[in-house]
Structure 1
Amino acid sequence: MGSCRRQRSRATLFVFADARVAMTYHDVEAVSRERLRDRQREHLRRAAERATSVELYRERFADAGLEPGDLAHATLPDLPFTTKADFRDNYPDGLFAVPREDLRRVHASSGTTGKPKLVAYTAGDLEKWRALGARSLYAAGLRPGDVVQNACGYGLFTGGLGWHDAVEELGACVVPAGGGNTSRQADLVRDLGVSGFVCMPSYALYLADHVRDRGGDPRDLPITHVPVGAEASTAAMREEIADAFDAVVTENYGLTELYGPGVATECAEATDGMHVWEDHYLVEVVDPDTGERVPDGDRGELVLTGLQKEAVPVLRYRTGDVVERTTDRCECGRTHSRIRVVGRSDDLLVVRGVNVYPTEIEHVLLEFDALAPQYRIDVYRQQRLDTIEVTVEVDPDHDVAAPTRNDLASDVTDRLADALGLTPDEVDVVPPDTIDRTEVGKVKRVHDHRGGH
């Protein structure tokens, strides 16, 4: 592996008065909240100036009676939110703030719900994105010299090239495996001594099942760290992955509109919420219905402002992700606030007047040792009445006969009723390998058959 590029780590050791120690990739990760706010204030003014190169933002500043220099944390709510619709309405380059000759790359969303969201990057953007990704991988426990296999899809999806560049920036060796071809993925992990495996959580489970199906044990693989992202996952789901590989599993968060992966990450020390890198992103959490800011700790929709983006400045972007935020210093010593994603507002199911996030159902299912982290949720409307059905597999390590599966389904129904305030119309506990798997792309667990509900 001597051909892989090595780079000296920029990690810094900080010792605090309360004896907590943080090994960080960049010293900004552990600055005081006051100093961090000062940095945000400076970056926000420059971000506002860049944004006024875009007609959409020029009009919004004028309508709000603001000049770029007026923009501050307190005055941000005077500006309207930026939404997915703004990206689609201004496709392809209406939100670009620099001439095309200054661009070095474009990425895009899948466009499955309409026009794709197209974003662009200057050379400076790519440099910052690489550094953020490396910082995230370091926080997740990876180090220079590690061999990291990237099982995210390459192409317009930001996960492939985003994590690829981050691994190299970290000074580790990247194995650009991409998505799918799981037999080859497993061989590469063994043959190259891969310690880091970057992927979607559903694919980590798929790989573990693949190894078991061939008579192996995923714990025998050299993988020690599994950063996951691009799909929602509960702590219980990540614990399943950690147990499967005997590895540290950390959740990562990214948005195509704001570089891609590397917006926020869990630290390996605590794995207790994802640190948002606040020298690059200003965080607001708002009531999804009113748009008003909510207190720290309260549940609300995450709104992000990109503080250092050049090609496509983004102010007050409604992510659609429902989070809980804390600004308490983490036990790792990092001071950047942490978020826990509860679910996506787009994924919220309203069933018989009750709000249900799929991740809440997942959390309950994984309380049962006899159940596997493979499930499906179906919602129907029959004679104007909503019904919800949950199908979940038995864990392959548990020999559960059909009569016992019926008892287990009854227990799961009762537990879901307690947790959700809604009794599922049917819970079906099925044998292993009954539910379709996804080898490439995001897994689809929720199937809403109600049409234009």
Structure 2
Amino acid sequence: MTVKDDRYLDPAVETMSREDLERLQESRILQLVPYVYQRSPLVRELWEKHGVTPDDIKSLADFKAKVPFMDKDMIRDFRDRNDDPFGGLACVGPPHMRGVGFTSGTTGDPTPLPRPEDNAVLIALKRELWHIGMRPGDTLTYLLFTFREGMIADRWMDTGFTPICVQHSPLDIPYLIQISKEYRPKALFMISTPMILGLEQYEKNTGEDIKAAFSSYEGIVFGGEPMSPHIRKLMERWDFNVYELTSLGDVATATECSAHDGMHTWEDVALIEHLDPDGDSDAEDGGRGEMVVTALLDDVAPLIRFRTDDLIEFTRKPCTCGRTHGRMKPLGRKGDELVVNGRSVLPIDIFPFIGDFPETRTGLFQIIRPQRETDILKLRVGYDIDALQDGENALIERIKARIKSELDLPSDIELMTNDEMVKLGPPNKIPRVSKS
């Protein structure tokens, strides 16, 4: 009798050979192509513009060679031209369309994402939480960003996980600590920079032992943006076993495993292309490229060859955890790149040092990018007014000297209190790049 490998929720899929994965992707692509062409107004309009029909697609290679890309601007343009709130993506309506989510809107107005009942986000989350250690009967703390997230959290019955929902807000930290003490959950999904800063402040104000309150958690998922050194030090002090998460191009999620060597991309639910950011040729395995995604299991509003604008390092080499699906490390957004005196700068270049001063240890900042190329790096930096050592002007000069040392670039610094910085974005993150 074959014994299931308990390390994986779905071992047959999670450890599938590369050849079998590609055969599965091709099978799903060939089913998807005629379906979306017939039902998605945006896909049909775009393909007709490029002279492509389903009859032209006989293989996965044909799909990659012939199907045109789509992006967020195309979805927004279709929405505005046709007064279609779904941007031409929707292939079906209710009751199969069970809800509509939206992107965060940190790089533009939010993109609508109609969802089916059993969507790829839920498939990915189940696998990721299983790897963290969740098993039937275990309790999960689920921090809610939106009402739609509450709908997802309600559908854990087939795993046997028991979710306890808490609003993702620093105002709800006392309740988060209370349920963590009383119910001893095994995993937390997911925490972010504002919540960690809120926990730090709560600890300071009340004397609460955060390490003890969270001691039952075998894994805490962190997402929304890269982790600043200050945030990482806090979670190490509290003994948080952290798994970083990112979005898989608005199709699903991608999360680190215990190897902490990249975030796993589930290639049975999304076709991942890793392309030259300035063209359409394949980027080198392990190198920098733009992520392009196609949703393989979404029959409500699938994204097809969607240029995400996300720059990633990506490899298809098997992971030491045993999984064979690809792994990615986010670098930033292509549209966020600022060129200062010919040098490329992304937020990930600022994260490692911006929090090294006592006043700026929270690591809150924005790159001011009114245009792509400039001769000076302009930053908005959050600071703790109570930690100010030698005045605002002196702090500005210290930050400028550090930027010169780290990046060899001239800079212009605008200071803003941490409380005001946090108000610049949605609950889980602030936009790290702003036009003004």
Give TM-score scaled by structure 1 length.
Answer: 0.78
Q: Which residue of 1 aligns with 2:314?
A: 325
Q: Which residue of 1 aligns with 2:90?
A: 96
Shift of 1:278: 0.4
Q: Which residue of 2 aligns with 1:85?
A: 73
Please tell me whether the aligned partners of residues 390 and 427 of structure 1 are also in contact (alpha carbons under 8 angstroms): yes
Letter in 2 for 1:84: K
Shift of 1:198: 1.7
Shift of 1:224: 3.5
Please tell me whether the aligned partners of residues 225 and 249 of structure 1 are also in contact (alpha carbons under 8 angstroms): yes
Please tell me whether the aligned partners of residues 249 and 308 of structure 2 are also in contact (alpha carbons under 8 angstroms): no
The DSSP-based 3-state class of the residue aligned with 1:175 is strand
Q: 2:300 aligns with which of 295, 301, 311?
A: 311
Letter in 1 for 2:240: A
Letter in 1 for 2:52: A
Q: Which residue of 1 aligns with 2:24?
A: 39
Please tell me whether the aligned partners of residues 379 and 386 of structure 1 are also in contact (alpha carbons under 8 angstroms): no
Q: 1:266 aligns with which of 256, 271, 290?
A: 256
Q: Which residue of 2 aligns with 1:346?
A: 335
The DSSP-based 3-state class of the residue aligned with 1:70 is coil
Matches within 5 A, 1:86-165: 86-88=74-76, 89-90=78-79, 91-93=84-86, 94-109=88-103, 116-123=110-117, 125-126=118-119, 129-156=121-148, 159-162=149-152, 164-165=153-154
RMSD across aligned C-alpha pairs, in angstroms? 3.6
Letter in 2 for 1:357: L
Q: Which residue of 1 aligns with 2:409?
A: 422
2: CA distance between counterparts of 1:357 and 1:166? 38
Q: Which residue of 2 aligns with 1:51?
A: 36
- Aligned-pair identity in percent equals 24
Matches within 5 A, 1:163-202: 164-165=153-154, 168-180=157-169, 181-202=172-193
1: CA distance between counterparts of 2:434 and 2:145? 26
2: CA distance between counterparts of 1:106 and 1:82? 20
Query: Does 72-81 or 367-376 show the bigger shift?
Result: 367-376
The DSSP-based 3-state class of the residue aligned with 1:373 is coil
Letter in 2 for 1:422: L
Q: Which residue of 1 aligns with 2:290?
A: 301
Please tell me whether the aligned partners of residues 263 and 328 of structure 2 are also in contact (alpha carbons under 8 angstroms): yes
Q: 2:350 aligns with which of 354, 361, 375?
A: 361
2: CA distance between counterparts of 1:359 and 1:160? 31
Aligned residues: 414
1: CA distance between counterparts of 2:435 and 2:109? 23
In the superposition, relative to structure 1, how do residues 427 and 312 fare at CA in structure 2: closer, same or farther (>3 Å)? closer
Q: 1:239 aligns with which of 232, 248, 251?
A: 232
Shift of 1:29: 0.6
Shift of 1:143: 3.3
Q: 2:8 aligns with which of 20, 24, 32?
A: 24
Q: Which residue of 2 aligns with 1:8?
A: none
Letter in 2 for 1:282: L
Shift of 1:226: 1.2
Please tell me whether the aligned partners of residues 186 and 207 of structure 1 are also in contact (alpha carbons under 8 angstroms): no
Letter in 1 for 2:28: H
Please tell me whether the aligned partners of residues 251 and 265 of structure 1 are also in contact (alpha carbons under 8 angstroms): yes
Give TM-score scaled by structure 2 length.
Answer: 0.81
2: CA distance between counterparts of 1:325 and 1:13? 26
Shift of 1:227: 0.8
Shift of 1:141: 3.8
In the superposition, relative to structure 1, how do residues 437 and 427 fare at CA in structure 2: closer, same or farther (>3 Å)? closer
Q: Show structure 1 runs of 5+ residues with no match.
A: 1-10, 15-22
The DSSP-based 3-state class of the residue aligned with 2:60 is coil
Shift of 1:402: 4.0
Shift of 1:74: 5.3
Letter in 1 for 2:100: V
2: CA distance between counterparts of 1:117 and 1:51? 19
Please tell me whether the aligned partners of residues 194 and 422 of structure 2 are also in contact (alpha carbons under 8 angstroms): no
Is residue 219 from structure 1 mapped to residue 204 from structure 2 by the alignment? Answer: no
Shift of 1:132: 2.5
In the superposition, relative to structure 1, how do residues 35 and 235 fare at CA in structure 2: closer, same or farther (>3 Å)? farther
1: CA distance between counterparts of 2:369 and 2:56? 49
Please tell me whether the aligned partners of residues 133 and 186 of structure 2 are also in contact (alpha carbons under 8 angstroms): no
Q: Which residue of 2 aligns with 1:288?
A: 277
1:203-242 superposed Cα distances (whole Å, 9 cap, x missing partner): 341242133121123212233421122x211474663353
1: CA distance between counterparts of 2:314 and 2:123? 24
The DSSP-based 3-state class of the residue aligned with 1:302 is strand
In the superposition, relative to structure 1, how do residues 204 and 407 fare at CA in structure 2: closer, same or farther (>3 Å)? closer
Shift of 1:200: 4.0
Shift of 1:169: 4.5
Letter in 1 for 2:165: P
Q: Show structure 2 runs of 5+ residues with no match.
A: none
In the superposition, relative to structure 1, how do residues 112 and 340 fare at CA in structure 2: closer, same or farther (>3 Å)? closer
1: CA distance between counterparts of 2:122 and 2:159? 9
Q: 1:209 aligns with which of 200, 212, 215?
A: 200
